[in-house]
Structure 1
Amino acid sequence: MVTSRSGSIWTETGPPLPLSAMQNLSPRWLHAVRVYYLNNNHILQEYCYTSGKGWYPGEVGNLGVQAAQNTKIAAVKYGDSNRGVHFRVYCQPTLPAAASGSSIAAVAYLRKSLEIRIYSQTENGSIKENAVTNSSGWFVGEFSANAPRGASISAIGWSSSEDGGVELQVYWLNAQNTTVYSKNTGSWGSSQTVIGSLRAGLNFAAAEWDFGKRLRLYFQGPDERVQGLYNDGTDV
């Protein structure tokens, strides 16, 4: 079980929307945020925050990407050898073999080349992994788990700053309304409990920084407020 404590609580306002957010963090300051969502015509939109500039509409909305009405959204960022920053946004119907309305989780990291992992549900409820590298097309990964249809899914991953290894963690809500996770440091392990006795159908998101030394799990509590669990050093 993940050793964690309740963190700060934020109040949720407004109707539920499919959205995804990313931030670029330095050790002390927030530099940039990207938020992705759908407008009333289900066209993918981007809203940006840059330090010193504030909030402004991004360029994605100008592309006219028509998403499925019930899509979820996942977004990842990654760097390159020239210190450039790149973004990828995933929604339906662009995903391979995902059930309609499936939760979507995405992870990007650099090893010998760019690695991307996408987690979503198939029609039979199985959570599957689809992967791509710089030198290959999409292929089905090794991860597989069963969950109720429409279960929330989140994923995090990072490359070790010490040995160059990679750790992946996938979180999902199981049939017992418990958030569980499985990790991969070479192969996928069995699922472990994070927190139980949750509301059926809740949404949550996992986050990490400092090469996995800082873990966060944000979720909707029984009163629909967003709560946070954090782990700042305990091995999971």
Structure 2
Amino acid sequence: MRNEEMDWTEISKTKELDTIRSAVDLLDPNERDARGRTPLMLCITNRMPVEGIRILLEKGVDLEAEDKLGDTALKKAVKFKQAETVKLLLEFGASLDSPYGILGTAWNAARRNKTMADLLLGTNGAVRLTLDPREQEIVDGILYEESIDDMCSRIRELSSPELIHAVVDGYNWDDGPEPMIAAYENPACAEITLLDMYELMEADYWLDMDEEEWSHNEEYRLWRRLAEGLQKKGASADAMEDR
């Protein structure tokens, strides 16, 4: 590729390491395209081999730049399922945390892929999503408990944020509010679990419901109580916008 033809969009698609080496010396390695993407983001999006990514990183590129979608390079690597690139970015000091809180992190973006998310467990507020067999047995025992009272009792006894999170994630919300109130009231319940609960229970529905509709029904009153409690703890609809 001739120097006058060098363009980060095209360079990011190459697998030739010599081209990358030339580009980082001849072009601005931190320039932005119309969508706010840096050369590093373009290389990740176009699945450049990690050796090429390393060449860019060794140039001292901005790891925390955000594109117009709010993605950093680390979030791009997660979205495009590039585990080795995630490891490399962390090696070079990419931040795990986000100024927007847990919902703005690469860990949150990785949650559908537990193996990927576990690479980012150093994130402030993250919980381990992969359970060992014994932990899964405990969670299954709670979720398949036929007695709601016994289920609530077992949830209250949990001291692990990971197990509480897994119970909330696997809960059948048609079974009523009591077990989730027990999870909400458990001191070990993590912030991200509360945020998930707000979304899973469709808390806005209960908060918007007219008092006449919920005040004369015991189950409805409990759902309303849970929604209000989650809202007070900051698990509001506004917090869900970055998900």
TM-score when normalising by structure 1: 0.24
Computing the radius of gyration from Cα coordinates, the structure with the larger value is: 2
Q: Which has the higher contact order (CA 8 A, sep 6+)?
A: 1
Greater per-residue strand proportion? 1
Q: Structure 2 length normalisation: TM-score?
A: 0.23
